[in-house]
Every structure is written in structure tokens, then in C-alpha cells.
Structure 1
Amino acid sequence: MKNRITDLFGIQYPIIQGGMVWVSGAKLAASVSNAGGLGLIGAGSMKPDLLKEHILKVQGLTQKPFGVNVPLLYEKAQEQIDCALDLGVKIFFTSAGSPKKFTSYLKQKGAIVVHVTSSPELALKCAEAGVDGIVAEGFEAGGHNGREEITTMTLIPQVREKISLPLMAAGGIASGSSIAAAMALGADGVQMGTRFLMTRESSAHENFKKLALEALPHSTQIMMRKTVPVRLLQNQFSLEIKTIEETFTGEELKNKLNEHLGKYRAKMGMLDGDLAAGELEIGQIVSLIKDVPSVEEVMKELISDYQKTLSRLPLKLD
């Protein structure tokens, strides 16, 4: 599985662990890196001081490469970036904002920069901004989602048509066969969130993991399209959001959504385990996940399944 993704990051497998808020802490990131992938600390839910703690902890748990995911929509993004740079972090995944905002700054500091995008047009802008790689994330993904609502299978070949940079596919990927499919469509590697959320090393609350194990194919839904689209696991909170969206329109709808969302709803659900009032961000692929193994077990299964998939190809059409 050596290719330009493994060469870019200095890792064994072209498998990136998504930098999820409240879930991707030091333990998860270090475990993925130790298993041969690239672990990412999800800085979106961390103030600079907390981010510093997690970076130092990762550095004490692994000698392998790791990175930090920084959502640019948060006001402390600059502080988070500077904190990570000061501690010697050299790999940054940026998302939820313009790639022009920090790419040049990070490159001047000697960092590798990858930006997460959701459309071919935005991928081209990432390339023009000078990033080293691109994550193209389809509509199936959990958490904050692109407004274009393009599925992964449709998105990857269209992005590949636009750019020649190292390309990672994200959204709906949780098995070795889906890694093979993403590569067949033009990706060089994959970024996986939900599969790593459902491991023993993730910071997700056990209540959240247990509920996710019961998920059906229709158990997640994109909500809050009028503010910031996000894919959620159905619970009391998501039903309340749905009622608001069916009741109000225009600016009143936006105000009601922002008021109901308030602060720390994701923390309440994902980290603290409040399955009623908390926001539960997770990908559509969760309905296929039926266990909560260790990261090492997940990686071994991914590679085994990938190899088995390749052994069945190519199909002979005689």
C-alpha cells in the first residue's frame, strides 16, 4: 500500500483518522499512528491550552508522524495553529473555511497542509492555494457537511479530474473493500472518522458508542441546512431540530436553530453521553459497524479486507 500518501506523511498505510471534535484526542491519534496510519488530534473542540496537553501526550505515546485537524470556522484557529507549530507539529489538516487563509503561513513554517473539501470546484481552489493534499469528503460523512451534498462515489472521480495532488477520500468508508473502491475511483488514500470513533481508544462516551451499535441505515440525517449542515444520529435533540425546521422559515428559522443549538451540545452527547439532549455527530456508514474493537484490530481488519478485495480483482469479462 505504499504510494504518494504514505510518502507524503511518512506512514505505512494511506489511512488517515479523521480529526473529530470531542472524539479525536491524544489516545486515539497516537494509537492510529502506532498502527501504521496517520492519527489526527481534533482541535475543533479544544482551547489552545488543552490542545497543548494533547499534543504533548501524543508525543509521549508515539514516535510516528501525527497531525492536527483545525476547523477554520472557530475564532481560535490562529492560536491553535501557532500552539501546534510551537510544539513541532508538521502536519495540518484544515477544514470548514477558505484554504487561502492559512496555507501560505503554514507552508512558510515548513508544514504539510491538507484541506478538506466537498466539491470539485472547491478542490481546485485548494490546489490554487498551494496545499500539499486534498481530502474530498462526500455527503455520507458525519459531523459538519458540505452544502453541495455530493456523495463520495460521485465526488472522488470529479475531484480527480480537476486536480493532480495527492487525494484522500472521506465519507462512508469503514472497510478494506471501501478503501479499494475509493482508490479505484482515483483516490490515493482515505480518511475515516466513524470507524475510528467506534474504537476503544476514541474519546466518545460509551453511551454514544452503544447507541451507535444499534443504528439502522436510516438512523442518521443531515440537519440544520440553513445554518451549518451536520449529519446526526437520531435522538431527542435531532427530533427537536427537525420540528424547528418544519415550523419556521427565513431568519426566524436560523435564529431558532442557533438558539436551540446553544453551546456544547456536541460535548453533551459525544463526550458526556447525554443521549437525549446531546448532539450526536456520526457518519451514515455507522449502520454497518457492529463492534467496538481496538485501533490495532481495526487496522489489521482493514488491511486484510483490502487484500482480499484485491485478490478478487480484476474481473474477467470473457
Structure 2
Amino acid sequence: MITRTLRREFFMKRRLLPLLLVLLTVTPPVIFAEEFPSNPLSRLDRCDVVDAFQISDLVFVFRTSQLPKDAEIQTEMSKLIPAGNAADLAEPHGDILILTEQFLGFSTSLKLASASAINSQNGFYWKITWICLPEEINSSGVPYRFHAMVKPDGRLMIPECHLCCETTLEDFEDGTVASDRKRGPSPMFFSALSFADLKQSKEEASLHGDEIQNIATKTLREFIEKNIPDRPTFPYRFRSQSIIELPVGMIDKHRIQYQKVWAVDFIPRDCPADSILEMKPFTVWVTPDGFPSTLSLQRWKAENRRSEVVAGGK
């Protein structure tokens, strides 16, 4: 791998960046996971994924199909738009910023972390990384990072959005999970729903809350019975459910499109009564018209499953 480091100075709106580290890497795009090895990114199926990042239960995905192609490909770095312009264009705003802050739980102050000029098999593109810091409250731990990708001519690559919740199933009596007959660590368990599936929800077919709860419970129960057949009892119980309104796109420059989704939360069956509210739940997402999130063990795919179901005539 050949790596050169270039240092540049530029002024951005509301920011003076005396030294911005711009990395030029002559390698194919690098796939990486965030700081925590147990989070959804570490178990994401990376087929056709060039980059991904996570903010709470929200996962953003960039596809290799979004990279420059044909006439868009630029092999000379001197012909890229300036790093400052790319960073300015890539700053989160509109529906993406509102969505990010909704999952962060606070208004964020975005700090530019890096602007990297990546030279891939599809030529150059910019990858911009922002650090999400709270505006008014103190925080601890590793902050979330927001990624943006910009084509050589300044056009943004719009990421896919996916809701994803994960948990770890406890060890079972004989330590078996599906076809794995060896005792080992508890398997990771995922629940994922794409915004593409969510946006296909038909408002006129919206269901009542009790119907949504039944769909979520049935989905979870059938999945466990199929994939963990040796489990003597259903290991979860219903805790609560809520309907959330999420920004899913822009209608025009000034109007944001919103879509509702149900979050049905389950907790371990044997959770002590005094820990019910503190226990991190496992969420089954359900669209208003009754389409549930996809459940999986060990790994998960960022996919638009609803289109596949319709295409398959199911």
C-alpha cells in the first residue's frame, strides 16, 4: 500500500481549519468497523458496501455502485473540487441532520475530523468525516462519527438508511443454535428495516397498535422457533411499543418528508421487575401497514426486502 500525506489550509463557513490532514491512498476503498466490535457494523454483510457508519440504532450505507463510473471517473487529483468545497458540501443538513439528531437525542455541534481523497478502482472521490458533539450537554465516551462521500465534480453520494437493533441471546440449556451443535458464546441477534421498505408503507392500510404488537410477537416467536428449535420456552416478553415519526427524505429544498414506524420492544423473559425499564430492549420494527423488520443470527444484510417480496409474488 502506498500512502502520501498532504497538508492544506482553507477557510470554511464558520470554521478556520489551519491544518486539515488530507489523505491520498492509492488502494481500493477500505472497509472498516467502528470502535465497538459488538455493534451492527462488525456483523454487516459487506457485499457491495464501500462504507458504512452507525448512529445509535441507525446505520448509513454507501454502495460500490454509487462510486464514480464511466465519464465521472477522475484519475487526476488536481481536477478534484477543493477539499474545503467538498467538506462544505458534505456538512449534514436538512432531513439527514434532523434524523441524526433524533437518534443522538441532542442537538449536535459538528466538528470536521478529516477529508480524505480516496483513489479507488473507480478513480478519486472525497470521504469527509464529522464528529458529532452535543451543543449544550456534557458527554463521555467515544463520540459518533458522520461520514459523507463526494464525487470529483462535487455531487454528494446519498447513503441508504437502515434501522438496526442488536442483542445477544443468552446461552441455551444445551448450548445449541440452529445447525451449530458446539457450545460457544451466545449468538448475536439482529433486527433490521430499511428506509426503502419503510417508505413503501401504504398509509391507507395502517393497522391498530394491537395488530402491530401481534405481528412483531409472531415474527420474533417464529424466527426463534425456526432457528433455535431446542429452546424450551420463548425467551422474551413484550415490554412496550411506540410509533416514531422519522424524516426519510426531502420533498423539495424546504420541505421534509416524514414516515411513521412502530418500535415494538421486547426484554428477556426472566428480567427482574426492578430492571424492566432500565433493560436495553430488543426492537422489532414494523411499518404502519404491517411489514416487519428482518431478523437474523450472527450477521445481517442492509437490504430492501420489501421489493424482493413483491417481485417474488409473495
TM-score class normalised by the smaller sequence: under 0.3
- Higher-Rg structure is 2
Q: Name whichever structure is richer in helix by fraction.
A: 1
TM-score under structure 2 normalisation? 0.23
TM-score under structure 1 normalisation? 0.23
